[in-house]
Amino acid sequence: MQLVTSGLRAPWAVDLAPDGRLFVTERAGRVRIVQLGPGGGLRPDPWATLPASTSSDGEKGLLGIALDPDFTQNGFVYLYYSYGPPNGVTRNKVVRMRDQNGLGTQETIILDGIPGNNTHDGGRLKFGPDGKLYITTGDAEDGANAQNPSVLAGKILRLNKDGSVPPDNPTPGSAVWSLGHRNVQGIAWQPDTGALYETEHGPSNFFPDCCNDEVNLIVPGGNYGWPTVRGAPNDPRFRDPLIDSGRTETWAPSGATFATKPGPLRGSFLFATLRGQHLHRVVFGPDGHTVLFQEKLLTNQYGRLRDVFEIASGEFLILTSNRDGRGVPAADDDRILLVTLR
């Protein structure tokens, strides 16, 4: 393990520019820059500071980030954040900023009106292999949202990068790609098949009615059952998870990636866990849904883990989340770690 940087506060997501700048969101609203490589490190001044609504006991704030696939040409950076008055209604939105002279400018709304709350705000942004922008949302603490196709909460959404709806989405004119989700914080595409997988938080705070964290294989228009069903009930109306943490164990799964580089790990699905305090590795069979093998890595070594990100060398960046109001931070938390898994 190598330390990439310390001194962050509740980092949530990262993306890497071709020039070696690592863009990092902090939940309170800052976008930070860590220059990778010799002589680099965490820049003291943020790239941008957004008016995010956050709380020490919740999950809302500045969450996901994705750099445009054509970042070198257009400098576009996409961000997901919560906003609203301290005691009023929370909403989430996706905005785009432009990198100009090393700072974020020209905030432009891509998608607004995603229902939010103190918790269950989703927040992951990634570009798919199809060049579309995928957005994960939470149910905003109201399970009924997840089954309502006309609400953006409790969904995985898919948009063109200008915010328009692609004509091949399952429902014409709708950003909804899949529904019936409680709170999705991780998405990743299998490098050989291009299939989309997600991680989803189960209802861990309601003992003994616990825990059912999920990993799902996403199909367009699929309904993943929340809040009508939990676990894998084999109900024909819904799609069962590939992995379910069961009724006694909570992982609180967040950011996910596949290992895509050549080597023995290629094709492994990796996700960071918060309450579970480990990096979870899954090997699926050739059919894409049979689970051949699972293991827990880095268990209880670095505390709560928020995101995992693969870099060109095949190593992984891991974000700790010990200053998110729910952890026990070490003096130098939060950190970004570089780990080699092979």
Count of CB atoms situated within 10 Å of the CB of 102: 10
* 203 near Ca ion (CB under 5 A): no
In eight-state DSSP terms, residue 132 is: P
Closer to Ca ion by CB, 12 or 269: give it.
269
8 Å CB contact between 263 and 243 = no
- List the one residue out of 247, 266, 249 whose CA is nearest residue 257: 266
Instruction: Tell me, residue by residue from 100 to 119, as one string, x for binding to Ca ion by CB under 5 A and - for no binding.
Output: --------------------
* 225 near Ca ion (CB under 5 A): yes
Closer to Ca ion by CB, 16 or 242: give it.
242
The rounded distance, in Å, linking the Cα atoms of 9 and 171 is 39
**Minimum CB–partner distance for residue 231 and Ca ion (Å):** 8
**Minimum CB–partner distance for residue 325 and Ca ion (Å):** 26
Please identify, among the stretches 35-43, 224-232, 252-260, 295-303, the one whose residues bind Ca ion according to the rule CB under 5 A: 224-232
**Minimum CB–partner distance for residue 342 and Ca ion (Å):** 32
Question: Which two three-digit tokens encode residue 281?
Answer: 């590795």
Closer to Ca ion by CB, 96 or 155: give it.
155
**Minimum CB–partner distance for residue 209 and Ca ion (Å):** 15
Point out which residues pair with 69 in neighbouring strands.
none
* 197 near Ca ion (CB under 5 A): no
Amino acid at 176: V
Rg (CA), the chain: 18
Closer to Ca ion by CB, 239 or 304: give it.
239
The rounded distance, in Å, linking the Cα atoms of 297 and 341 is 9
* 186 near Ca ion (CB under 5 A): no
* 224 near Ca ion (CB under 5 A): yes
Site size toward Ca ion (CB under 5 A) is 2
What angle (nearest 5°) sits at the alpha carbon of residue 14, between those of residues 162 and 302? Answer: 155
Closer to Ca ion by CB, 76 or 224: give it.
224
Please identify, among the stretches 101-109, 130-138, 223-231, 271-279, the one whose residues bind Ca ion according to the rule CB under 5 A: 223-231
Q: What number of residues does the chain have? A: 342
Per DSSP bridges, beta strands 196-200 and 214-218 are antiparallel
Please identify, among the stretches 12-20, 94-102, 216-224, 315-323, the one whose residues bind Ca ion according to the rule CB under 5 A: 216-224
Per DSSP bridges, beta strands 176-179 and 184-189 are unpaired
110 contact partners, CB below 8 Å, separation of at least 6: 78, 93, 94, 95, 96, 133, 159, 161, 162, 163
Q: Where are the alpha helices (DSSP H) in the chain?
A: 71-74, 144-147
- List the one residue out of 117, 212, 95, 225 whose CA is nearest residue 161: 95
Closer to Ca ion by CB, 154 or 225: give it.
225
143 three-class SS: coil
**Minimum CB–partner distance for residue 214 and Ca ion (Å):** 5
Closer to Ca ion by CB, 122 or 225: give it.
225
Closer to Ca ion by CB, 11 or 225: give it.
225
**Minimum CB–partner distance for residue 224 and Ca ion (Å):** 4
Which residues of the shown chain bind Ca ion in the complex (CB under 5 A)? Answer: 224-225
